[in-house]
Structures are given as structure tokens and as C-alpha cells.
Chains A and B, each alone.
Chain A
């Protein structure tokens, strides 16, 4: 059986924390540059330019792109033929977050309890989604999530009769209600189907896709484009100052559901859209 030590995992997560928070992903840079061409509002254009400048400064000076360096969300695919040695996998992932947030001078934004709200001082615990897959690799995707955008998400258990039109309306309404709060231009992840928690999970997972990468199902890809068009017609624009670029991309993830339900979850991401992946080979 192939093996990976927890030390290797800690180190990998630590590095993901630094990269994800200080280096703007190329897909976002490309999307911002495309939007600069299509944006009609002078103020909107200026915001897009400043966001690109901001990313350059962050990368050059190794400081976070945004001060909200988020709650660390990890998607972990564990190969079923892999053996983790030297300790607990969950503890290793949290230790990596702890070290990364300390080393990178990232903000510690996690509180112990939603009511007493004492800061845990090390940005743990991380939110960890495990998936057991075939093979002997360990794939780690870190997607730190700021709460300016996270707070604007919504979930609705639609009726089957609401159908496609009901889903589309709910997504657009959610974005319109969010307005300037999630720091547009945003990226929109939509999870459709499953159960309540599955839809929410899929919406977050949809945000891992590169902006501008169409869904492999052409029908869903068409819906993504239609939603993007409707969202950008809202006129909210960069920072909500008015303009054409409210969203850079929309990603859908769909799953089987129950005869009585149509769960739809919308997870909004800000332009930073952090996600970094590493595959550790056993």
C-alpha cells in the first residue's frame, strides 16, 4: 500500500494557504482583463484596473490580495488505496492551516462559537470536505472563503413545478439582493438537486471551476451563459458603482434529487475567488 506522511500533508497545506491568499489565479486575471474591454462604465473600468494593480502588488510584496483571508475550506480526495502515516489526517490539515496563516501573516478570522465569539487565534478549525476516490493519491484543494461574499449566499427548496425558470429567477434575485456587498465583480456557484446540504456543498464546489470554463454538459453550459447575461444586465457593476461587469462567471453543479424537491443553493464568491490544488502522490 502507498503511503503519505502527515508531515508532508502539513507542509502542502501550509504552502496552499500562502499561494491562495497572495496570488490571484490566472483565470481571474484573464477574466478581469476581458471585462476591461466590455465594461462601459468609466468608474467600473477604473475599479477593474485597480483590482489588477492590487493583485500585482499582493504577489510582488507577498501580502494578501484581500484582508479577509477567509475561513479555510478544504476539499480532500483520499485515494482508497492510500495509507496516511504518522498521525491524524484531519489534524494534519488543521496544522497546515495553523502554520500557513501564521507564517503568511494572514488574518485569523475564526471564532470558537457563534455566540461567545472568541477568536481561535490560528484560523482553525478548517472546514473539510472529504471524498474517498479510487487510486492512491491525495488531492487537496484549498479555497479560503471570505465572509463579505459568503454572507450573501442563499438556499431555497424550490418546488419541482418551479422548474428551470424558478431556479434561474432565484439565482438572479440572490445576486441582485447582494448588490455591492460581496465586492462585485463576483463569481457565482450554483448547486442544484440532491438534498439541502448536498445543494449547498455543490454550490461551493462549483466555485472551484476556472472562470470561463464551460460546463461539460452543453445544456448546462448554455444555462450558465444565460444566467451570466441576466446577472450582468442587473447593472450593479464593479463594486456596485454601476456597470456591465457584475459577475465574471457562473458555474452550475447538478445532482439527482427527490421526486418532491428542487433544492437550489447559491454561493457567491468575490473576485479573489481563491482556490489552489495540489496532488500528493502516494
Chain B
């Protein structure tokens, strides 16, 4: 899948983040973390209590996903993105803690976009509904926190050439806006 964009190795530093523009296609390689509704809620509660988070957010990427259970012989089940908007209430706090990237699908709030611009973060889109295909790019998966949340537990994933598109960049450029405008009749 090397023709599907620029290869990027995680974690993401500020320089890489600032070089990305909405519409760019990239292939992620390295460690990313999963987290969706319930895990985000717990992480924010931990921050409010002044507790350590299950992993250091600095320069990391969170993938909004709740995979299906891994069948025998597989690392993970189907693993496509969930709707990011449900994490809007939480993402600005995590971006302020050093989170550099989010992978999901769908619209984000102004508060999230402002935090991305202020601290330097990028919002990446994986194809919603392509969970079987995306699972093939996940080479390792390990639950590192909140195992009681089942599919919502935080997993540490190792990905290879995981294909994403820059949806919103660190300057506020937004593919959803430019894309729709180009084809609206």
C-alpha cells in the first residue's frame, strides 16, 4: 500500500504534525493507542483527580475504535473507526496534555479544532466501515488499561502502513469543508 501516501513513524512530533495538510494521505507505522467513549471519560476523571494516565500522551495518537473480539489465530477482529464527535467533550483536555493525533471519522467541534491549532495536533480519518481491511494493518494488540470495558478498553496497537487521510490539520484546514464544497451542486 506504499502508493497510498507518505510513511510516517509514530510517535508524532510537532514538526511532523505541522507538516501535514488536510487531504494528505499517510501510512502510519508504529505504536498507537485505542480509546473511545468510556475510556475517555475515565482518563478525564483521572486527570481531574490528579492521577497518572495509563500511558503518557506526549506525541501519541489515539485511535477511536472498539474492535470486535479477536478470533483464534488473529491479532484483533474488525477494527474501523467510530464517530469522533462523541469524544469532542474530552479531546481538548488530552490535546493540552500532549496528544498529537486522533484517528476517527466524522465531524469535530470548534473547541477541538481550536485546541488542535493551539497545541499542534492533527485529526486523521480512517475509512469507516472498512474494519476488516484495517484490521490487516494491525500487527500487535494488547490491552493496557481498563480491561473491564471490554471493546472499550485501551489497547496498545502496533500498526504497519495503516492508511489514513488528514481530515483536519493543525492550522484548521478541514477536508470535510473543502471536499463537500468542491462537489456541491
Contacts and interface: CB of A to CB of B under 8 A. Distances in A.
Nearest to B128: A183
A180 B83 CA distance: 9
Contact of B165 (A64, A233, A241, A243): A241
The range of chain B's interface size is: 35 or more
B79 interface: yes
Interface string B34-46: 0000100000000
Instruction: Give the interface centre of B65, B68, B175 by most chain A CB atoms within 10 Å.
Output: B68
Contacts of B107: 179-181, 240
A54 B132 contact: yes
Contacts of B71: 62-63, 105
Interface in A244-262: 244
The A contact surface, by secondary structure, is: loop
B182 A64 contact: no
A50 B133 contact: yes
A121 interface: yes
Contacts of A282: none
B80 interface: yes
Given A66-B80, A105-B77, A240 B133 contact: no
Contacts of A117: 38
Interface string A69-80: 100000000000
A213 interface: no
Contacts of A141: none
B67 A107 contact: yes
A61 B68 CA distance: 14
Interface of A: 40-41, 43, 47, 50-51, 53-55, 57-58, 61-69, 105-109, 117, 119, 121, 148, 151, 179-181, 183, 233-237, 239-244, 270-272
Interface of B: 23, 38, 65-71, 74, 77-80, 82-83, 85, 105-107, 125, 127-133, 135-136, 149-151, 165, 175-176, 178-185
